[in-house]
Amino acid sequence: MTRLDHDSCVCAVCGEVRLHTLVSSSNQLGPPDFDTRPAEMLRGTLLFWVMECLSCGYAAPGIQAADARAIPIVRSPEYQHFRSNPGVREDARRFACYAFLLEKIEQFADAGWAWLHTAWMCDDRDDPDGARHARAEAIRLWKRGKSAGQSFMEKQIEEFALVTDVLRRTGDFDAAREACLEALTLDKIPGPVEDMLRRQLTLIQQKDTAAHSMAELERPQEGKRVTLN
């Protein structure tokens, strides 16, 4: 069950006070997608993962605080122009603006995640072009982050698995296959991750760019009979 609360928040950049919706609690009714996108009901709270000040445009998970480096960036003409970026749909721009800020302060790994969340918003709004662009930006920033010594997941195999899915969903099948095959050369791959990677090879061969869930890989419990309907 999802619980939403409403609270007055003071923007750390401009001081504007406005009522914002906060996610107090939620749950997942199934396994996530291959790119970690959560199942419902948590998936339905995505819109509230990033706040946006409607006055100055500052975007962050909590606008009550701000990195000192972010304040002049928000006030800059470059950021204010980005707020109206026609390349990102309006209801997903808060995520893209957050990614913009994170990139400017060189938090590249987190910026990549913010772009992936932008892609999820575009998926929900049936905007494949916007989602493709956002995923390409996520890959670009994760690469930049790795060059700067920033990891975007806890384990290397998890990074390869995520990148494989994001590349496949952008339609870059050659790069997705390369990442997938490289992942499969690693040692001690967890069973569910290996299953997902081998499933990815099939999807890549089929040139499938759709979302797929870990639910597809669930194995029957021991002693449970499997039937085909």
pLDDT one digit per residue (tens) for the chain, 229 residues: 778 888 899 999 999 999 888 787 778 778 999 999 999 889 889 989 999 999 999 999 999 999 999 999 999 999 999 998 888 999 899 999 999 999 999 999 999 999 999 999 999 999 999 999 999 999 999 999 999 999 999 999 999 999 999 999 999 999 999 999 999 999 999 999 999 999 999 999 999 999 999 999 976 555 544 443 3
Residue 171 has what DSSP assignment? T
pLDDT at 228: 37
- Which residue range(s) make up the domain with 162? 153-207
Contact 192, 161 (CB under 8 A): no
pLDDT at 220: 54
Quote the CA–CA distance of 139 and 160 in Å, as a whole number.
11
pLDDT at 73: 97
pLDDT at 229: 36
Q: What's the total number of domains in the chain?
A: 1
Residue 65 within a domain: no
Residue 176 within a domain: yes
pLDDT at 136: 98
Query: Sign of torsion, CA 138 144 148 153?
Result: positive
98: Cβ contacts below 8 Å, ≥ 6 apart = 50, 59, 60, 61, 114
pLDDT at 203: 98
Residue 180 within a domain: yes
Residue 225 within a domain: no
Residue 25 within a domain: no
Burial of residue 97 (CB within 10 Å: 0-12, 13-18, 19+) is buried
Residue 160 within a domain: yes
pLDDT at 81: 95
Quote the CA–CA distance of 22 and 19 in Å, as a whole number.
10
- Strand bridging mode 3-10 / 17-25: antiparallel
Its pTM stands at 0.91
Residue 200 within a domain: yes
pLDDT at 227: 42
73: Cβ contacts below 8 Å, ≥ 6 apart = 79, 101, 104, 105
Residue 119 within a domain: no
